[in-house]
Amino acid sequence: MPNTQDPTPMKPFIAGNWKMHKTAGEAVAFAQALAGELNAAQDRDIVIAPPFTALHAVSRSLAGSGIKVAAQNLHWEREGAYTGEISAAMAVEAGCSYAIIGHSERRKLFGEKDEEINRKLKSVLASGLGPIFCIGENLEDRDAGRTLAVLGSQLRKGLDSLTRRDIMETVIAYEPVWAIGTGRAATPGQAQEAHAFIRQTLGKMFDAPPAGIPVIYGGSVSPGNIRSLMEQPDINGVLVGGASLDVDSFVRIVNFDK
Ligand code: PGA
Q: What is the pLDDT of residues 9-53, one digit of tens each?
A: 789 999 999 999 999 999 999 999 999 998 666 799 999 999 999
CB 35 within 8 A of CB 67: yes
Domains and CATH numbers, the chain: 13-254 (3.20.20.70)
5 vs 135: which has the higher pLDDT: 135
Instruction: With CA atoms as reference, report the closest residue to 17 among 180, 136, 169.
Output: 180
45 lines ligand 1 (CB under 6 A): no
Ligand 1 contacts CB of residue 240 (under 6 A): yes
Give start and end residues of each alpha helix (H) in the chain: 24-37, 52-61, 88-93, 104-109, 114-126, 139-143, 147-158, 164-168, 188-205, 226-230, 247-254
Q: What was the pLDDT predicted at 41?
A: 60
Q: Is 120 within 8 Å of 76 (Cβ atoms)?
A: yes
CA distance 120 to 6: 29
Bridge partner residues of 135 (DSSP):
174
Angle between helices 24-37 and 52-61 (to 10 degrees): 40
- Which residues participate in catalysis according to the annotation? 103, 175
Q: Is residue 16 in contact with ligand 1, taking CB distance under 6 Å?
A: no
| Average pLDDT value for the chain | 95
Q: Does residue 230 carry a pLDDT above 50? A: yes
pLDDT of residue 8: 59
pLDDT-based confidence at 214, cuts 50/70/90? very high
Q: Are 195 and 222 in contact (CB under 8 A)?
A: no
Q: What is the pLDDT of residue 10?
A: 87
Listed range (32-46, 107-121, 185-199, 229-243) with the worst mean pLDDT: 32-46
Q: Which helix (H) or strand (E) holds 72?
A: none
